[in-house]
Structure 1
């Protein structure tokens, strides 16, 4: 396969495919066949994330300005949103595509109903991956997946989807990398590298502070949860039964109100600031890797990269701890309907930090692959 040949990455969970009798994989094969029938050109769709070929092709395409011939098709289901690997793929591809002005090459298929994607769910915390997908023209396959695969309805739908992919690849604008220019305040042009770097330099200390605050609030929530456990044990010892446990759960709900509100705000702020600047940072790192820099610019880039790498290193350990905390919260949430909404909010906030780490890790990976990656001042 040449770099110019169209290629798709089929992002799905193997468990979903197994539960649906292999239909998800067969759908990718039918789309590739229909595309070749329509265009006369082969379309390679990479399926298995576990293979070396997938990883090598994925990284090579993301790091290349030839991303204009590459698309990602996330097969969206409730289980897809719970898969950290699938979430990472969407985040990374969205950032790279946006850095080249090629947002339309993210082509989601809504395969099994995810209520937030269609009408939203009152009282439910927002999911940033759902928001990324909802901004694209996703394809609705929720009813079609129940059709017989050889039925005219199903075959026509496959044809239309292949036609859409062909049209997107044909009409997608040329890649538009961010340019190294000083932005005129009177224009509405997107920021160039100078503005991106200024934003990032100002944001780096704030990002680190948010992570530190996040850890403190999570510790506070953990302490309150420990208090509740002890109170429930005391109540059980007094013969309080489930009524006593309910009283403690209600007290815990009140005590958690403020820290849960804080952790929700911190998670949203952290994700929104990182994701908004992600395309610009990706573009800047790509520019540094491809350009002959003056000694002065090289030093500026080296110092900037060092700060990013340090941030990613510091947050990585915190993120791992938060993942463990979120898993524990998930078990506790099932024990009380009164606490369940608050625990879901905590989990959603933690997920935003985990997803933000994907952004930082991708910057780190790209930096490491430039000739400044191992550079020391």
Structure 2
């Protein structure tokens, strides 16, 4: 056991806790008590993400580089995956943990059944947060949550979970910063800081272009949907009835096939590229904050940081617009069985871009705390 007090961040939705009559919050206290009995050390668990204590502790733990004494414990339910704030916490923590080789510090509890987590249903588009959770050794609490809290089965399960946390504390190796892998695998010499920064700076325009293509394709989908609405209105005036509406719906489904496929591909590509280098970029920013860079490295880093902040500001606007569009799709998806699968794909693709914004925004937040000075004025 380390000398630093263990800290856990309990990630859940308040609505889930209310619906389960406070059991989710009580579970955190039961685990903390059992952990202290087993180890003799207190386990502080932050619960209310809206409080100053949560926010300050969250930023402090992330910015000072996670250690093997910091956990994120997501209470996974369908509502959890619908919560953008909960998704943001998982994505942000996973990136920081991965940047230090500490993936095991993300400890999901599968509280209410999420089908995507236990089986790959073809009708359910891939969810990147589900995939992040599925890669970890999550705890199955789906049946246990129905047990009486004072029952032997429930108490034993809490004890077992506390033991598991204690074991992870003892077994987790020291943090090992992860570097961005070189794109040129034929080069035997690993890239230096300057080469990596130059490569990342060159990649930013390509990522921005992907988002622009995504927005343009979404706009096309919107135009096709508007066309369909106008056609349905015209058909209704002619007395076309449901037969006329069905004809327009079938035509719309056909016209959406190509843009829906494209938006699915672009969303997956954008998320995959950013998620793959997220740990390395976090490591670069952390390295830059330590102030050990040469003048040349600082110059390249400063240019890269400026590009990242510009990208974050620009994509934030696009992402906000995409969120509005996705919300409108939620209602439309219920109107036609023929269109429902396409609208689900659109929503899943938009969610990937929204979740990707979490990664870029975290880079921008970290960069704001780094002072690289101005070599031109020296």
Calculate the TM-score normalised by the size of structure 1.
Answer: 0.95
Name the residue aligned to 2:353: 353
- Is this contact kept in 1: 2:193–2:297, CA < 8 A? no
Task: Report the secondary structure of 2:67's partner residue.
Answer: helix
**Structure 2: how far apart are the matches of 1:88 and 1:279?**
15
Q: CA deviation at 1:122?
A: 1.2
Q: Any residues of structure 2 matched to 1:249-264 within 5 Å, and which?
A: 249-264=249-264
Q: CA deviation at 1:152?
A: 0.4
Gaps of 5+ in 2: none
Name the residue aligned to 1:80: 80
Q: CA deviation at 1:248?
A: 1.0
- Structure 1 residues 25 and 144: CA distance shift in structure 2, 3 A: same
- Structure 1 residues 228 and 190: CA distance shift in structure 2, 3 A: farther
How many residue pairs are counted as aligned between the two chains?
376
Gaps of 5+ in 1: none
Q: Any residues of structure 2 matched to 1:1-377 within 5 Å, and which?
A: 4-178=4-178, 193=193, 196-372=196-372
Task: Report the secondary structure of 2:9's partner residue.
Answer: strand
- Is this contact kept in 1: 2:93–2:106, CA < 8 A? yes
**Structure 2: how far apart are the matches of 1:309 and 1:251?**
42
Q: CA deviation at 1:322?
A: 0.2
Q: CA deviation at 1:193?
A: 4.5
- Is this contact kept in 1: 2:113–2:142, CA < 8 A? yes
- Is this contact kept in 2: 1:75–1:109, CA < 8 A? yes
Q: CA deviation at 1:66?
A: 4.2
**Structure 2: how far apart are the matches of 1:56 and 1:120?**
38
**Structure 2: how far apart are the matches of 1:217 and 1:182?**
32
**Structure 2: how far apart are the matches of 1:148 and 1:375?**
64
Task: Report the secondary structure of 1:68's partner residue.
Answer: coil
Q: CA deviation at 1:67?
A: 2.8
**Structure 2: how far apart are the matches of 1:30 and 1:190?**
48
- Is this contact kept in 2: 1:183–1:192, CA < 8 A? no
**Structure 1: how far apart are the matches of 2:27 and 2:68?**
23
For the aligned residues, what is the CA RMSD? 2.4
